[in-house]
Amino acid sequence: MSVYNILIVDDHFVVREGLKLILETSEQFKVVGEAGNGGEALRLIDELQPDVILMDLNMPIMSGLEAMKQLKERNCSIPVIILTTYNEDELMINGLALGARGFLLKDTNRDDLFRNIESAVRGETLLSADLMERVIAAREEQKAVRPAGGERSLLTDKETLILQFVARGFKSKEIAFDVGISERTVKAHLTSIYNKLGVDSRSQAVAIALEQGILNL
């Protein structure tokens, strides 16, 4: 059985300890480091090269978003899972746009924590349906700006539909069943969506679509 090394980045000691206690109930995960801000995290990432980073976004000295920007500039491929609270919708969108593999509430349960980490290690993006609904609702309330030129979207209606399913947390197989197409066709549509939006992951596609007002659920 593979053991995955985890770096926890959060400015609250209680949060770090709580996550560490949960992770240590499984032999599959090992917490190799803890950081209280983005600057500390960047140093530890270089030193430890963890398999997954659990990253808070709102921290003193250097935020998680700034740390993620620097990781992106370094072409760092270590997956990041955002740690969030109930009032950080805008930060979550920005974090997803920077390539986060998903997000977790800080009081998440054991099963969700493990499932998100396992998905991130496999290179997948796991988007929580309930959290995505909340983010999308918040975005709509803010009346997100539409793409320039009056166009609703560069995406076709079918691509927009598929991206709506993605935003709700559906997997390719589930989307294929609901839309009535093959899983291979779903993946082809996703590739087209990535190319049009200039992204390389589901989370980035959803984030950019939210920013541009493409998603309107």
45, 80, 37: which is closest to 62 by C-alpha?
A: 37
First to last CA, the chain: 41
Six token digits for residue 183: 């899983």
pLDDT band at 134 (very low <50, low <70, confident <90, very high): low
Pairing of strands 29-35, 4-9: parallel
* Interval 61-93: pLDDT, tens: 999 999 999 998 998 989 999 988 766 667 777
- The pTM is what? 0.71
Which CATH class name applies to 4-126?
Answer: alpha beta
Going from N- to C-terminal start, the domains of the chain cover 4-126, 143-212
Local structure of residue 152 (DSSP, 8 states): S
Residue 146: per-residue pLDDT: 45
Fold for the domain defined by 143-212: Arc Repressor Mutant, subunit A (1.10.10)
Identify the three-state secondary structure at position 166.
Answer: helix
* Interval 146-204: pLDDT, tens: 444 444 458 888 998 898 888 877 888 999 998 899 999 999 999 999 988 888 888 78
